[in-house]
Amino acid sequence: MSVDLLLKYGTVIVEGKEYQRAVAIKTGKIEGIYKFGQEPEAETVISCKNKFVLPGAIDIHVHLRGMNQSDKEDYISGTRAAAAGGVTTVVDMPNSNPPVLDWESLETKIQNARAVRYVNVGFYAGIPREVSDFDVDMAKNILGLKVYPHSPLTEGITYDDKRIKECLTLASDLGLPLLVHPDTSKPEAKSDSIEGFFNIHSCQSEIDSVAKFIEALQGLDNEARLHICHVSCAASARLITKNRAEERLTAEVTPHHLLLTGADFSNEDGTAKMLPPLRSPYDNEALRTLLSKCGIDIVATDHAPHTSGEKLSPFLQANSGIPGLETMVPLMVTEVFEGRLTWVEYLRVCSSGPARILGLVGKGVLSKGYDADIAVVAKEEWSIMGSEFQSKAKITPFEGRKVLAKPEITIVGGEIVYNQGKFVVGAGNVGTVPVRSLIQLRNT
Ligand code: DOR
Ligand code: ZN
Ligand code: ZN
């Protein structure tokens, strides 16, 4: 037997331990993992000596922008950023311009992304003012429904118990999770001071929002699923942990909320302005602990690109959001190399956990029969430099940070996309768009 591609001499994680193994790939799938001397013949052989062969990261919280915001990011730059960062699947948020509230905008995104993709791309949709106006025909092409209780996606809607339950029920009827940006601040609340910004988007606001959504979830007897985005505060993370219900209530944390604190930046500095804001070392510590204890399921970047001009403005005018696709794998694998995260935890929070939450059967695990979506990562010290990003967003709060892991080769569906700084396929040739869940569609 001969396979298409053999990744030889690399280090593979098996039951949490490092082993030298060969990974064989055939027709886009992992054909097998072999001990030295037992590997099959292959058309192409790549030596991964001294490198880690890992499942590609799956980032379920990405703003790819495009359309009217292509100056911030487009599907080429965003998916190239993913590939360069060792991320093989991204899931795009609906707060684009135009927003994804109807089939037309979703279809535009799908067509645009399909034409120029470098990785797998899935999508979320928002929920219109009248929940009953949601076009259920969109369901099979999306992976979840996203709501922003405080924000522009659907302006002026109050997320009271009734609205939250309607949204949870709609998602549940479609077999999809409801994702929430937890923040109770009023959309019209504008801060005219830096303190005002932090007061509006306080931990209390996050906790109150998480509490309201959990209460609504628990008041439903259907199979509604709720996913809490970018948990940033110790108390909200604890509230989630206390109410955890496997599959029904899940949560994510970003690398920046795990690794940075507000005190690392001057209050005038828009570089690290994001929603939710950076919190305290106490919150960092709690988030880390609860991530390890499965109180928080996964890591997701909230890759939210803006132009340099928009980020370098004075704090109040600067846009919220930072790029994350090219820093997640380096930062999180560094956590492993420095002993603060185990390999088992890394694989769960960056690959298998995200796949489980969105029902991406066949993804997120480096094992026989799974999709050959792979990140080959070298153990190498380097410093993060925004100017080198593939993303159009070059301003990162991790600028200059030393990391110990460098994504070197990225494989999507068995095809090498990126190899040591170079893209070796053209745009639009590899990856699936849209990525679909295989465990949805009850009522469609
Ligand atoms: O900082 C943020 N930026 N938080 C969000 O929730 C939205 C995002 C964006 O789209 O820019
Ligand atoms: Zn958000
Ligand atoms: Zn976001």
The pLDDT tens digits of the residues spanning 223-271 come to: 899 999 999 999 999 999 999 876 799 999 999 999 999 999 988 889 9
Residue 15 one-letter amino acid: E
pLDDT in the model for residue 267:
81
Residue 321 vs residue 195, higher pLDDT: 321
Q: Which atom of ligand 1 lies closest to the CA of 306?
A: 11
Q: Which residues on adjacent β-strands are paired with residue 2?
A: 41
Q: Which atom of ligand 1 lies closest to the CA of 63?
A: 10
Active site residues: 302
pLDDT in the model for residue 186:
75
pLDDT in the model for residue 440:
59
> What integer is the mean pLDDT of 45-66?
98
Q: What is the CA radius of gyration of the chain?
A: 21
Ligand 1 centre from 95 Cα, in Å? 9
> What integer is the mean pLDDT of 307-326?
95
- Which residues, 6 or more positions from 413, have their beta carbon under 8 angstroms from its beta carbon? 28, 120, 371, 372, 373, 430, 431, 432
Instruction: Please state, rounded to an integer, the average pLDDT across all residues of the chain.
Output: 95
Ligand 3 centre from 57 Cα, in Å? 17
> What integer is the mean pLDDT of 57-72?
98
What is the band of 149 on the pLDDT scale with cuts at 50, 70, 90? confident
pLDDT in the model for residue 366:
98
137, burial (CB in 10 Å: exposed 0-12, middle 13-18, buried 19+):
exposed
Ligand 2 centre from 276 Cα, in Å? 7
Q: Which residue reads 């059967």 in tokens?
A: 361
Query: Residue 443: pLDDT above 60?
Result: no
What's the distance, CA 258 to chain centroid? 14
The pLDDT tens digits of the residues spanning 110-134 come to: 999 999 999 999 999 999 999 999 9
Least confident of 135-144, 148-157, 168-177, 367-376: 148-157
pTM: predicted TM-score of the whole model, two decimal places: 0.97
pLDDT in the model for residue 188:
66
pLDDT in the model for residue 124:
98
What is the band of 358 on the pLDDT scale with cuts at 50, 70, 90? very high
68, burial (CB in 10 Å: exposed 0-12, middle 13-18, buried 19+):
exposed
In sequence order, which ranges of 26-117 are alpha helices (DSSP H)?
75-84, 103-116
Q: Which residues on adjacent β-strands are paired with residue 299?
A: 253
Any residues with Cβ below 6 Å from ligand 1, and which? 63, 95, 181, 274-275, 304, 320-321
Ligand 1 mutation pick, 61, 95, 209, 306, max ligand atoms within 8 A of CB: 95
Q: Which atom of ligand 1 lies closest to the CA of 93?
A: 10
- Which residues, 6 or more positions from 245, have their beta carbon under 8 angstroms from its beta carbon? none
In sequence order, which ranges of 180-230 are alpha helices (DSSP H)?
194-200, 203-218
Ligand 2 centre from 220 Cα, in Å? 24
User: Side-chain half-sphere of 388: how many Cα atoms within 13 Å?
Assistant: 13
Nearest residue (CA) to ligand 1, atom 4: 275
Domains belonging to the chain, first-starting first, are 2-53+370-391+398-423 (2.30.40.10), 56-358 (3.20.20.140)
Phi, psi of 348 (to 5 degrees): -70, -45
